[in-house]
Amino acid sequence: MSSTLSEFQIIKRYFEGVGEIDSQIIDLGIGDDCSVVTLPPNQSLCFSLDTMVEGRHFPKGACPESLAKRVMAAALSDLAAMGAKPSFFTLSLTLPEANLDWLEGFSKGLRFMANAHKLSLVGGDTTRGPLTIGVQVHGLVKKEKALRRSGAKEGDLLIVTGNLGDAGAALKLLNNDAVNDVESYLLERYYHPTPRFEEADLICSVASSCIDVSDGLLADLRHISAASFCGFEVNLEALPISAQLQQFAGEGARSYALNSGDDYELLFTVSRDAWERISDDLGGLKFTVIGRAVPESQDIKIYSGDKEVLIESEGYKHFE
């Protein structure tokens, strides 16, 4: 259903009251020329912007509720990777038309994520044009405690949360209608990735470096490697792969795990001692040691047993 609602009516109906306003921080939300926040003492603000364009990042006609969840999860995952707690977000929305059904679904997805992760929508911009969704999330972290990509040290363990490769495999399925259990699991992992805040909570005081896997394990590991000036050995057999991906891709599962993006798992390094201290009580969360940091001169190498294997491609790169 298309409508003649004005921009302001749209904002009021679909974007006001998304998430609960934390009045300790938010002085002024939607409705004025700017939003106003006051940061608590000794906290730093982390923020990250994610944009999704129809036809580029998602297929035409994709479910609006899922899109909202996915763009929020992608942006929130960056906060998790820094060890920050979500606080508020802004939304830039470019719409071809004011389709009320679409807006209703999109707003529902936003509300779900805002409530689940305790952040509120405090402002944004709404324009007409090809469907494009931009979300900027803001989170708080104790001053000087943000987890960066730099900081990995030779000998540190390389660890990843959850499973790898599921979302990448789902890309093959985006235009399929009838799907079986395995396929719907993979699609669920693509559309509804889980920002790993619980895992981040456990590791934030011990990790020496951290990144979220958005472009692919190897591509993102390369960012840690460059920022930390160290190389890595990765154990191919250790890569965490879901039973569903194994069933879907067989021999190809490891290639998805190494190279495909969109999983939004956390990849981090930690000293052996620190990991030993905390690894007895991981609260049922999934962490897998997949390798270790080595001198920078050794670059990134993948091993199967004690044999080195060659890698063909590294993740997803825009503009190439």
Q: Which stretch binds Mg ion (CB under 5 A): 1-9, 26-34, 42-50, 270-278?
A: 26-34
Taking the C-alpha atoms of residue 74 and residue 65, their distance in angstroms, rounded to an integer, is 14
Beta bridge partners of residue 47, listed in sequence order? 138
Q: Which is nearer to ligand ADP, 82 or 103 (CB)?
A: 103
> Which positions ≥6 away from 152 have C-beta within 8 Å?
208, 209, 224, 225, 228, 230, 269, 293
With CB cut-offs between 5 and 8 Å by kind, which of Mg ion, ligand ADP, none does residue 14 bind?
none
Q: Does 32 bind Mg ion (CB under 5 A)?
A: no
Q: Which is nearer to ligand ADP, 110 or 245 (CB)?
A: 110
- Number of other CB atoms surrounding residue 271 within 10 Å: 17
Helix, strand, or coil (residue 181)? helix
Q: Cβ of residue 92: shortest distance to Mg ion, in angstroms?
A: 15
Where along the sequence are the contacts to ligand ADP (CB under 6 A)? 11, 15, 30-33, 91, 93, 121, 123-126
Taking the C-alpha atoms of residue 20 and residue 36, their distance in angstroms, rounded to an integer, is 16
Q: Which is nearer to ligand ADP, 32 or 251 (CB)?
A: 32
With CB cut-offs between 5 and 8 Å by kind, which of ligand ADP, Mg ion, none does residue 96 bind?
none
Q: Which is nearer to ligand ADP, 73 or 82 (CB)?
A: 73
With CB cut-offs between 5 and 8 Å by kind, which of ligand ADP, Mg ion, none does residue 126 bind?
ligand ADP
**Alpha carbon 309 to chain centroid, angstroms:** 28
Beta strands at 120-128 and 85-95: parallel, antiparallel or unpaired: parallel
With CB cut-offs between 5 and 8 Å by kind, which of Mg ion, ligand ADP, none does residue 139 bind?
none
Number of residues located near Mg ion, criterion CB under 5 A: 1
Q: Does 33 bind Mg ion (CB under 5 A)?
A: yes
> Which positions ≥6 away from 122 have C-beta within 8 Å?
21, 26, 29, 30, 35, 37, 88, 89, 90
Question: Is residue 1 classed exposed, middle or buried when 0-12, 13-18 and 19+ CB atoms within 10 A define those classes?
Answer: exposed
Helix, strand, or coil (residue 14)? helix
With CB cut-offs between 5 and 8 Å by kind, which of Mg ion, ligand ADP, none does residue 267 bind?
none
Q: Which is nearer to Mg ion, 33 or 177 (CB)?
A: 33
Q: Cβ of residue 238: shortest distance to Mg ion, in angstroms?
A: 53
Q: Cβ of residue 40: shortest distance to ligand ADP, in angstroms?
A: 23
The DSSP 8-state label assigned to residue 171 in this structure reads G
User: b/e map of 219-250 (b: 16 or more CB within 10 Å)?
Assistant: bbbbebbeebebbbbbbbeebbbbebbbebbe
Q: Cβ of residue 1: shortest distance to ligand ADP, in angstroms?
A: 19
Taking the C-alpha atoms of residue 311 and residue 252, their distance in angstroms, rounded to an integer, is 13
Taking the C-alpha atoms of residue 287 and residue 278, their distance in angstroms, rounded to an integer, is 12
In the stretch 87-126, what mask flags binding to Mg ion with x, by CB under 5 A? ----------------------------------------
Q: Which is nearer to ligand ADP, 35 or 163 (CB)?
A: 35
Q: Cβ of residue 202: shortest distance to ligand ADP, in angstroms?
A: 33
Q: Which is nearer to Mg ion, 33 or 281 (CB)?
A: 33
- The binding site for Mg ion (CB under 5 A) comprises 33
